[in-house]
Amino acid sequence: MITERTGLPLSVGISGANLHDSQALIPLVKGIPPVRSRRGRRRRRPDKLHADKGYDYSHLRRWLRGRGIKHRIARKGIETSQRLGRHRWTIERTMSWLAGCRRLHRRYERKAEHFLAFTSIACTLICYRRLVC
């Protein structure tokens, strides 16, 4: 899941439990829809991406750089993850909002398409609640 700065989900995907998170980064970033701004053209990509050490791969850094996305990815063995803590809490909070949906807390659906549909509905409800209040 990719969220914006306030925790609203921008792109959601599901994968098997045996798939590493870093392999899902490129499809999730490509899945971000164009965002309409008050002035100028629609933005088709984020300005900056924060990620933890699980995404520390040179091919991901090159891919993000090639798309013009500034990345802040903690490096394995060099940096601590403490600096990313202030950015990480937004995704953790969004994941707890999703865990509040009873149907998503434990995966009842056998088909991935059904589970993705319920996850999309839950993300829509999260966005609605955040934008109304």
The number of folded domains in the chain is 1
Mean pLDDT of the chain: 81
The pLDDT tens digits for 15-33 are 877 888 889 889 988 888 8
DSSP annotation of 45:
S
- Which amino acid makes up residue 24? A
> Residue 112 contacts by C-beta under 8 Å, 6 or more apart in sequence?
14
From 32, 37, 59, 36, select the one nearest 48 (Cα to Cα).
32
Cβ-count burial of 70 within 10 angstroms (0-12 exposed, 13-18 middle, 19+ buried)?
A: exposed
pTM as predicted: 0.75
Q: Which domain holds residue 19?
A: 2-132
